A and B are shown apart, each in its own frame.
Chain A
């Protein structure tokens, strides 16, 4: 069912169209003298706001241990299927990782596929993957654009951690409710 919308009849000034053009000219003239808003990119860099979604990276906790436990939730949630994880188990004989059972063997993010949506960061139960402020990424080959685990940790660095999960595990194992 089609609706007929009654429009207000145009006034003579509106039908002449010229006053509107003059009004428009006034606006464009104003913009001619307004300061430019574009950045001169390579010299001027944008201020990255907090919460910016740059290149996804893996981070370590302040003790330098990897936080990722390869739960593969990011791989699952990733809309363009850019993340590929090979899970692995941590051998029980590593003293500094005594309470960590699982960690990624390989972790690859294909930056040619990544759409920077941030769902991986949102879904991560270990707060191990973050989209940080790196926004300029380039490479000469396709292979170069696939970030492997080492590169992801290099990009990610260490983030302040609020809850030292592994320490808690260790404390629980040492002083916990055993019998």
Chain B
């Protein structure tokens, strides 16, 4: 008999094992909850059901009732309700669980179905595994190992289809490998809202292609590559670069905007090869923007800062740090006339929470004015928000800033013109791009802590190289006030210290209380000082992030519009 359950849960039986599942769950997910894998190609939990691959065929049965009285029919042999098994298998993806539903996934009939489907899929599939980028993460490869026969009975010639079609600027299609699951078609239509893909021709001649005159060029096109269960859609950038089994996966965060899409960084021996989305149903589901996937190229960019300089000359890190301390504490400087009066910190919304915390401490110690550089773009309503700073809210949370940054650094410019500011500590920000004039910058002694060269690093008195987001670990606060962590994917440049080490050195040298230069040492301090971060530590932060209490900043006019899983509370502010 079926046990009475809370209204939203129903009991189903998977391979003889009873399990409670939410109503509306389809059979694949129900089986997943029972830890039974139902192989499938076309089904994707975030897309509509199409049911065309037929790989998920299972046997299904329902409790028998008397047609007239609706009374349960009991099996005298077992004393349980009889199960009426369907005479033919059903696709598990398109059948929702109903109370008392029975699923059999391990019978000979189901095995036979899977074997047959696999054999049909492999009929025209080329033997490309040695050169296929999908090998190693290919569903067809996995299921062929489990359900394939190991040799081919197909004596006719295989279909020949185009091998290297450019579907768009970033996606290459190998039509021979396509198994026509239509995941990419549904994604383009449903998620990317850019309906460009479709099938032409019939039967085994069916071919995936773009609509005439269109291209798969939207900013989410590479998600079709992730979706593709086989190697038909491949990333033009990653194509033939490295086999996936060599790559180490590191959880990271997409830093291109305040959405904070969760990502996976794939690297081998300190070289990053690709970035893919990491599932976080509260932030980005299983998607991310194409623009976030190329950010790793900044790690080995030609304009990367690799060594400390002092007035343009290469010096050791220690000397540069000492010069920075001298400048900040007023013992040196470019301002020949008179002593240094004012120090300003131009902080960054790209720094991590920990760096912003240390920056605040340094600013407090120096009584410096703090500015933050604003970056506002146009949100695409999916996974790129209008605020292109990934961590504005981190600066608010740590108390580095109290109000949202102004669009240009006009206040700072005015202070420079008034002669109140002579020294600026820039946390990797280009002051010219942020709104200062050349003339204003020329009046300053700039200490630049950044990863790449720009107009400011070129004229800075002291340049201390720092690490990119892929070379360090830390946390960011996204537009939902969700504290998310990322790990170090590759080792930093030789001779470049971790940003936390550099900042805590500066803080110590300026006479601040030593706070530690590691995440483990820093987090207890942050948790003790910042109320909304109390009890948080880097190590115990869940991989899906921690939603912070944002009540204190509810009134601020954030610029973000609506995106996936985010609705602005205070209404969009500036949306230019």
Seen from chain A, the residues whose Cβ lies within 8 Å of a Cβ on chain B are: 69-73, 75-76, 87-89, 92, 101-102, 125-126, 172-173, 175-179
A76 touches B159 (CB 8 A): no
> B: which residues have CB within 8 A of A?
129-131, 135, 156-161, 163-164, 201, 205, 239-243, 245-246
Minimum C-beta distance from A99 to chain B (A): 8
> Min CB distance, A170 to chain B, in Å?
11
Q: Which residue of A lies closest to B156 (CB)?
A: A177
A-B contact pairs, 6 of them (CB 8 A): A69-B131, A71-B131, A87-B241, A87-B242, A101-B240, A126-B130
| Nearest chain A residue, comparing its CB with the CB of B163 | A101
In the complex, the answer to whether A177 meets B158 with C-beta atoms within 8 Å is: yes
The SS class assigned to the B binding surface is loop
Contact check, A177 vs B160: say whether CB atoms are below 8 A apart. yes
Distance in angstroms between the alpha carbons of A126 and B129 in the assembled complex: 11
Instruction: Give Cα distance in the complex from A178 to B156, angstroms.
Output: 13
The distance from the CB of A165 to the nearest CB of chain B, in whole angstroms, is 9
Q: Is the CB of B160 within 8 A of A89?
A: no
On chain B, the residues within 8 Å of A175 by CB distance are 157
The closest CB in chain B to the CB of A174 belongs to B160
Chain A residues with CB under 8 Å of B245's CB are: 76
Given known pairs A69-B131, A73-B130, A101-B131, the reply for A173 and B243 (CB within 8 Å) is no
Q: How far is the CB of A94 from chain B (nearest CB, A)?
A: 13
Given contacts A172-B157, A176-B158, contact A125 B240 (CB under 8 A): no
CB distance from B205 to the nearest CB of A (A): 5
One of B156, B159, B240, B246 near A102 (C-beta < 8 A):
B240
Q: Once the chains bind, are B164 and A101 in contact (CB under 8 Å)? A: yes
> A166 CB to closest chain B CB, in angstroms?
12
| Complex interface: chain B residues within 8 A of A102 (CB) | 131, 240
A-B contacts counted at CB < 8 A amount to: 53
Tell whether, in the assembled complex, residue A176 and residue B130 are in contact, meaning their CB atoms are under 8 Å apart.
no
Q: Which residues of chain A are near B240, meaning CB under 8 Å?
A: 70, 87-89, 101-102
A125 to B164, CA, bound (A): 22
CB distance from B307 to the nearest CB of A (A): 28
CB-CB under 8 A from A101, the residues of chain B are 131, 163-164, 240
* Contacts A87-B240, A101-B163 supplied; 18 other A-B pairs, CB < 8 Å: A71-B129, A71-B243, A72-B243, A72-B246, A75-B246, A76-B243, A76-B246, A87-B243, A101-B131, A102-B240, A172-B157, A172-B158, A176-B158, A176-B159, A177-B157, A177-B159, A177-B160, A179-B201
Instruction: List the A side residues contacting B242 at CB < 8 Å.
Output: 72, 87
CA distance A172 to B158 in the complex (A): 8
A178 touches B160 (CB 8 A): yes
Task: State the 7 A-B residue pairs at the shortest beta-carbon distance, nearest first.
Answer: A71-B130, A176-B160, A102-B131, A89-B240, A125-B130, A177-B159, A72-B243
Cα of A172 to Cα of B243 in the assembled complex, Å:
27
Specify which chain A residues have a CB less than 8 angstroms from the CB of B164 in the assembled complex: 92, 101
Instruction: Report the separation of the CA atoms of residues A70 and B241 in the bound assembly, to the nearest whole angstrom.
Output: 10
User: Chain B contacts of A179 at CB under 8 A?
Assistant: 201, 205
Smallest CB gap from A90: residue in B: B240
Give Cα A125–Cα B151 distance, bound, in whole angstroms. 15
Which residue of B is nearest A179, CB measured? B205
**Which of chain B's residues has its CB closest to A165's CB?**
B127
Task: Provide the bound-state CA to CA distance between A89 and B158, in Å.
Answer: 24
CA distance A100 to B485 in the complex (A): 43
The verdict on A173 contacting B160 (CB below 8 Å), with A87-B242, A89-B239, A89-B240 known, is yes
Query: A87 CA to B241 CA in the complex, in Å?
Result: 6
Contact residues in A for B239 (Cβ distance below 8 Å): 89
Taking CB atoms, residues of chain B closer than 8 Å to A69 are 130-131
**Shortest Cβ gap from A97 to chain B (Å):** 13
Contacts of B158 in A (CB 8 A): 172, 176-177
B129 in contact with A125 (CB, 8 Å): yes
* Residues of chain A lying within 8 A (CB to CB) of residue B135: 71
Bound CA span A70–B129, Å: 11
Query: Cα distance A101–B126 when bound, in Å?
Result: 13
Which A residues are in CB contact (< 8 Å) with B157? Answer: 172, 175-177
CA A69 to CA B243, docked complex, whole Å: 12
Give the chain B neighbours of A173 by CB distance below 8 A.
Answer: 160
Q: Return chain B residues, CB-CB under 8 Å to A176.
A: 157-160
Residue of A nearest to B161 (CB): A178
- Taking CB atoms, residues of chain B closer than 8 Å to A73 are 130
Cα-based distance from A178 to B201 in the complex (angstroms):
12
Q: Which residues of A contact B129 (CB under 8 A)?
A: 71, 125
CB distance from B165 to the nearest CB of A (A): 11
A177 to B157, CA, bound (A): 6
Using Cβ atoms and an 8 Å threshold, which residues of chain A touch B201? 179
A101 CA / B156 CA spacing, docked (Å): 24
